[in-house]
Amino acid sequence: MESLPSHSVPALLAAMPEFDSTAWLACIGLLALRVAATFAMTPVFHAVPLPASIRMLLILALSVALASGLSVPTGVGAGWRSLVFAAIAELALGATLGLGILLAFGAFAVAGQLLDIQLGFGIAQIIDPVTARPVPILTTAFQYLAVLVFFLLNGHHALLRGIRYSVERFPVGAPWSLAHAAEPLLKQVTGLFSLGFALAAPVVFCILLVEFVLGVVGRNLPQMNMFTMGIPIKIVVGLIALSLWFAGIGGVMSRVYASIATTWDAIFVAANTPPASSPRREQVR
């Protein structure tokens, strides 16, 4: 193979685009803030108790992977003032996207708390590793079930694709409007309690029937202590009904997970800065 002439080497170097390492590192840092804020608002990242150093490495590795396929805006890292405002915007955007996931998983918490009150499990509480606060038993069980099914349905793949698409709709360091993202989140909040009730509706209906029967028995047999007898009966019937309901809960859970995609799609569509109008970029080799 023939070697290139010596005089052509400077010409090739001059033809290569200039690599701005400062802008590239600033882009990675801003992406890391967006990804960290998104994961911090979701129970997915806290389902497995990982050390903080491992979480930081995962966020940094994901940010580097995202930045490797992007072109770096020329204005990123131009000054400390603009960098601080860009960091605040990335944190707010990541928290907004994470709030869409948090509201969806909140439906499972609503269903668990509703059943805890109906079955009397609200008295017995355990420490939730995500919030470090005592929560009832069924609430914790529903939250872990939500995370487990989320991974079984490859929801983490959709989450990563959504973060990748958010970089296209909201370029790194570019301003964005919070008002456009507020309406989809408010719509998801309005559907939070309806989806939470739908997750526990059959079990609640069975418990109401049991309370009706206990009321009729207590009316006809006033010498019996229905309060003492009613608690274990409601627990047994509620757990049996919950076990049977788990066979058909998949459709409601799919609706809950679909609310994440619906909210994110609405936020992306409402983006006031389309990718075509993004600032001039330099291709990174």
pLDDT value of residue 140: 82
pLDDT value of residue 88: 87
Residue 226 pLDDT > 60, yes or no? yes
**Average pLDDT of the segment spanning 105-113:** 90
**Average pLDDT of the segment spanning 19-24:** 64
pLDDT tens digit sequence for 75-104 = 555 667 778 888 888 888 888 898 889 989
Give the single-character DSSP code of 276: G
Tokens at 193, concatenated: 């309690």
Phi, psi of 126 (to 5 degrees): -130, 165
pLDDT value of residue 76: 57
Instruction: Pick 9 or 216 by higher pLDDT.
Output: 216
pLDDT value of residue 108: 92
| Type of residue numbered 9 | V
| Type of residue numbered 277 | S
Tokens at 161, concatenated: 């694709």
Q: Say which range, 4-18, 196-210, 221-235, 261-275, has the weakest mean pLDDT.
A: 4-18
Phi, psi of 72 (to 5 degrees): -85, 130
Spacing of C-alpha 58 from chain mean position: 16
Distance from C-alpha of 78 to C-alpha of 64, rounded to nearest angstrom: 20
CB-based contacts of 234, cutoff 8 Å, min separation 6 = 118, 119, 120, 207, 210, 211
Measured in Å, how far apart are the chain's first and last C-alpha atoms?
25
pLDDT tens digit sequence for 141-161 = 888 889 889 988 888 888 888
